[in-house]
A = this chain, B = another copy of it.
Amino acid sequence: MRSDATRNREAILRATEDLLATHGAEHISLDRVAAAAGVGKGTLFRRFGSRTGLFQELLAERAAALALAIESPGSPLGPGSPPKERLLAFLDELAELAQRNLALFAAHERACADDKYRDPTYLRWHAHVTALIAEAGAGGGEGRLDAEFAAHALLGSFDADLARHVMADGGPARLKSSVRGLAAALLA
């Protein structure tokens, strides 16, 4: 990739963040992003392919640290810890990420409304949660849990609108504790 290309890529990403922070997740047209980045619209599309691609990459960037933490041993998040603890730690971290990036989450959701199950970041999270639920052997009792499905439902907790709604009435702490409660109940 040519140096100007790299520079522009970065400019676009940063401009998107700025707009996301300034205005909400709405009314962020790609024309606006391009203008804010001091770049032509064509450039934006060449780099990211589509609106969807732009927000997917931005989310991937913000989620990189978490992706790393998942795989490196040593923390309650990483391999080695018991699955239940690992799951709760992961969800905690995800809640933190969501509350620090509400606008991005919202924009990302809208942009990926179609085939949201093809977003690489979501896919990673889902695979991870599914594995942990299965590993924890939940639902041995009466209802035998569908791990894949339960993982989707659990990740649904981080829907931006839901998160905003919950945090509007109970503060950031409520999201975390509610998700914890849900997960704990599932694994019980």
Contacts and interface: CB of A to CB of B under 8 A. Distances in A.
Interface of A: 26, 109-110, 113-117, 138-139, 141-146, 148-150, 152-154, 156-157, 159, 161-162, 165-166, 174, 177-186, 188
Given A152-B162, A159-B156, A143 B174 contact: no
B113 A143 contact: no
Given A117-B161, A161-B116, A165-B117, A185 B153 contact: no
Contact of A182 (B110, B145, B165): B145
Contacts of A180: 143
Contact of A181 (B139, B178, B181, B188): B139
A154 B150 CA distance: 10
**Taking the full assembly, how many copies of this chain does it contain?**
2
A145 B181 contact: yes
A83 to B, nearest CB: 16
Given A153-B156, A161-B117, A138 B178 contact: no
30 contacts: A26-B114, A109-B113, A113-B113, A116-B161, A138-B185, A139-B181, A141-B188, A143-B180, A143-B183, A143-B184, A143-B185, A143-B188, A144-B181, A146-B174, A146-B178, A149-B157, A149-B162, A149-B178, A149-B179, A149-B181, A152-B157, A152-B162, A152-B166, A153-B153, A153-B154, A156-B159, A182-B186, A185-B186, A186-B186, A188-B188
Contacts of A181: 139, 143-146, 149-150
Given A153-B156, A185-B185, 10 more contacts: A117-B165, A138-B185, A142-B188, A143-B180, A145-B181, A146-B174, A146-B178, A156-B159, A182-B186, A188-B188
Nearest to A170: B146
A116 B153 CA distance: 17
